[in-house]
Structure 1
Amino acid sequence: MSTVVISQQPVVVTQPQQGEWQTDLCDCCSDVGVCLCGLFCFTCLGCQVAADMDECCLCGPTMAMRSVYRTRYGIPGSLMGDFLATGCCPLCSLCQLKRDINKRKSMGIF
């Protein structure tokens, strides 16, 4: 009769899908702090996003930043979609980007 020694417990790790946003465009309730920051100081939130991505402060809320981020993480979409998101709802677009950065940081994949 052999004895089996278990040296590690099974662990469940939830990893985000590589090619999708961590939150929806209008999912403000998932991180109210980010939404309030964007609402009351849009420029500050834009600078935070730019700093996270090692870019110029003025680049944060732009279509280009969203496109670069989407490409880096394999998130499906198009330049037209980025243009519409940043043009029609810049606050939601910027908040989504910052929420995504925060979630990826917390998971160690940013």
Structure 2
Amino acid sequence: MTSSPVVTRQPQFGIASVARNSWQTETFDCCSDCKVCACGTFCFCCLGCKVAEDMDECCCCGGSVAMRTLYRTRYRIPGTLLCDCCTAVCCAPCSLCQLKRDINIRKEMGIF
């Protein structure tokens, strides 16, 4: 007689089904949150301070490579320091907007 597999995890639907260990939006997915995009474009420093405040860090660190790397490692998002550096240096506004969108989505999910 064979035994049935034991279900240890129920399937999730809606916002809770978003992957917890990946970026919730792409780097250039600016249209998914136009308010964050506008803030990152026209007031980069303000958005950097808001991100740093969300993460309980110094305001000066908001748009830095270190902040992106800290966030990525905290939520076990795959990537490398080199990728973080390239993204934060070459596409600073988009990188910071991605970070803020991710924070907002994780807050909605209750996992931030």
- Alignment TM-score, normalising by the size of structure 1: 0.87
**In structure 2, distance between residues paired with 1:87 and 1:12:** 36
Q: What residue ranges of structure 2 are gaps of 5+ in the alignment?
A: 1-11
Work out which of the residue numbers 16, 19, 39 in structure 2 matches 1:17. Answer: 19
RMSD: 1.2
**In structure 1, distance between residues paired with 2:40 and 2:22:** 22
- Alignment TM-score, normalising by the size of structure 2: 0.86
Work out which of the residue numbers 56, 71, 74 in structure 1 matches 2:73. Answer: 71
Provide the residue aligned with 2:102 in structure 1: 100
Say which one has the larger Rg.
1
**In structure 2, distance between residues paired with 1:12 and 1:66:** 28
Quick one: percent identity of the two aligned structures? 61
**In structure 2, distance between residues paired with 1:80 and 1:12:** 34
Q: What residue ranges of structure 1 are gaps of 5+ in the alignment?
A: 1-10
Q: CA deviation at 1:12?
A: 3.5
SS in 2 for 1:21: coil
Q: Give the letter for the 2:104 counterpart.
A: N
Q: Give the letter for the 1:61 counterpart.
A: G
